[in-house]
Amino acid sequence: MPKAEQTVIEINLNALTQNFNFLKSKLEPDTRFLAVVKAFGYGSDAVIVSSHLEKLGADYLAVAFTSEGVHLRQEGIKLPILVLHPQITDFKTIIDYCLEPNLYSFRVLESFIETCTELDLNNYPVHIKFNTGLNRLGFRSSDIKNVSELLKNGNYIKVRSIFSHLAASDDLLKDAFTRNQIEDFQNIFKELTDNLGYRPIQHILNTSGILNYPEAQFDMVRSGIGLYGFGNSPLFKNNLTPIITVKSIISQIHEIEPGESVGYNFGFVSDTYRRTATIPIGHADGIGRQYGQGKGYVTINEERAIIVGNVCMDMLMVDVTNINCEEGDEVVVFGQFPDAEEFSSTADTISYELLTGLSRRIKRIVNS
């Protein structure tokens, strides 16, 4: 790629291909692959990523909210799309755009059945989620009988999949808890399918589950963060490549004298002669104030430049006293070095938060 001339996010589709193929290599040939593209494709670009995954052979996509699925449909994405957290007010939109809702409570299930009844639909595909320990969304095992009765009352909907979500599949110290979740889910699945009289798709594994518990891949797996280059484990770090690199440039260099401050509220006061560089990216772009005052850093000409003072809305300043650089030089905020995991750790947060917080005002460039 040419050197950056403004703040950009480079999306590496070759890396996406490699990550997809690595994760697929952990699966049996007939195991389906659901790619999670919520939150604007984890901060990349959901349409670009979904289109490429469609070509690679993904079987399903998943988004958090209905509007995300609608956007993909409007951009021509044809794959089945699971809406993980649908709201009742969106049910007719879900149907209009051939999206598939996750029904996780009696309120949601009964309301969707009512909508399908009003529209006189037949066997509309839905997904049923059970809570096995994450305690976020999902029916409990004690609900199976009542859920079964609702699902068998008429043929307005048909269960496409039954699934659950692991709470700590990335932490092998919680192995017993995870295995208990998997066992509980197997029991739930068997009882519900026995009641239904047919066998929907069964799935529970997320990215860390694929890597640590492949024996529980069942009919389908779900991967989000792994596709974007992170496996939540140093064991797999070399097998996954971050698909995005955030780059910018040096807008201006300042010569700072002893006693001078940099940025708002005297966030940095120099005790000696320093050089600082101002970079056009800030907390409105997703690089929050928590990265300021010497915590976070960027890379300029392969050298580490520490963020000084408070991060501004549209800019941040770094110390380049010992770096050979000039105005207009390229800046790597994060990508390969540092990657999002390392960059986010400087502020005691995680790559998920950093990636999904990237502003959509930043220009996206495809690097394939």
Concatenating the DSSP letter of every residue in 302-317 gives TEEEEEES---SS-EE
The structural domains of the chain, ordered by start, are: 31-228 (3.20.20.10), 244-367 (2.40.37.10)
Average pLDDT, the chain: 96
Q: What is the pTM of this model?
A: 0.95
pLDDT of residue 285: 98
Does residue 87 contact residue 65 with C-beta atoms inside 8 Å? yes
CB atoms within 10 A of CB 206: 23
Q: How confident is the model at residue 232 (pLDDT cuts 50, 70, 90)?
A: confident
Q: Which residues are catalytic?
A: 38, 264
pLDDT of residue 2: 81
Distance CA 218, CA 31 (A): 7
User: H-type helices in the chain, by residue range?
Assistant: 13-24, 38-42, 46-56, 66-74, 91-96, 106-118, 144-152, 175-196, 207-212, 340-345, 351-356
Q: What is the pLDDT of residues 302-351, one digit of tens each?
A: 999 999 999 999 999 999 999 999 999 999 999 988 999 999 999 999 99
DSSP structure string for 126-152: EEEEB-SSS-SS-B-GGGHHHHHHHHH
pLDDT of residue 337: 85
Q: How confident is the model at residue 142 (pLDDT cuts 50, 70, 90)?
A: very high
Helix (H) or strand (E) holding 12: strand 8-12
Closest CA to 248 of 320, 329, 313, 317: 329
